[in-house]
Amino acid sequence: MIMEVLQVGPLGVNCFIIGCDATHEGVVVDAGGDAAEIIAAIERLDLKIGQVINTHGHFDHVGANRAVVEHCGARLLIHEGDAAMLARASEVARSYGLQAESSPAPDSFLADGAEIAVGQLRFRVLHTPGHSPGCCCLYLEKEKLLISGDTLFADSIGRTDLPGGSHEQLINSVRTKIFTQPDDVTVCPGHGPATTIGHEKQYNPYF
């Protein structure tokens, strides 16, 4: 597996560029900003990007969608629960005194339990509402890797005070969708350092 992580956009989102080393097919997860940097990394890694996936629709995770999708000829995927946020990203960013480009509409929707094939890699979608209604994680079972978006962080969880957020939903999502996976799975969140499921089960103060 090929993987590069870039910190992009005004809030330092972790953008994941992941590819199959056998076929060089790839995916971009959370193209939050700094499109030129993302595109340069894609070209340096020599990947054919077929999908851009948003773990959720908040402006800091979608600001480079348009540029990356258009450059790569890729399809855009997000959960239906957050799809309406894409067109409002610029407006919402301005309300925080920041800048982000609004995103085009998705080509299709993520669904809980669905499998996304990227070459020989298999991403399983886990719908984990709480930070937002359409929050999703992406689980590569064979590689023991979980991209958790803003659902679970190292020693923390995503905020739930934004529109559509629910603390109870988020806690339930983590317990039923994430903590049911093996302890040695690496968790790669939307912000900050990586962790493991085992560490979070034992030390995360919210659990």
Q: What is the DSSP letter of 181?
A: S
C-alpha distances out from residue 133 to 21, 78, 160, 166, 183, Å: 34, 11, 10, 8, 26
CATH of domain 2-203: 3.60.15.10
Torsion angle of C-alpha atoms 56, 62, 67, 73, degrees rounded to 10: 0
pLDDT reported for residue 21: 96
Which pLDDT belongs to residue 97? 94
Average pLDDT over every residue of 90-110: 95
Q: How confident is the model at residue 119 (pLDDT cuts 50, 70, 90)?
A: very high
What residues form DSSP beta bridges with 195?
A: 187
Domain ranges of the chain: 2-203
In the predicted model, what is the mean pLDDT of the chain? 97
* pLDDT tens track for 29-85: 999 999 999 999 999 999 999 999 999 999 999 999 999 999 999 999 999 999 999
pLDDT per position as a tens digit, 12-42:
999 999 999 999 999 999 999 999 999 999 9
Q: Where are the alpha helices (DSSP H) in the chain?
A: 35-45, 65-72, 89-95, 167-173, 197-203
d(CA 54, CA 140): 16
Output the pLDDT for position 139. Answer: 98
Give mean pLDDT, residues 92-101. Answer: 93
pTM greater than 0.95 (yes/no): yes
pLDDT of residue 188: 98
- According to DSSP, the residues that pair with 146 across neighbouring strands are 139, 187
Give the pLDDT confidence score for residue 28 in this predicted structure.
Answer: 98
Token pair, residue 29, equals 């997860």
Side-chain-facing half-sphere of 13: CA atoms under 13 Å = 32
Label residue 171 exposed, middle or buried (CB < 10 Å: 0-12, 13-18, 19+).
Answer: middle
Yes or no: say if 108 and 75 are a contact pair by the CB < 8 Å rule.
yes
Classified as helix, coil or strand, 201 is: helix
Q: Three-state DSSP class for 150?
A: coil
At 137-177, the pLDDT tens digits run 999 999 999 999 999 999 999 999 999 999 999 999 999 99
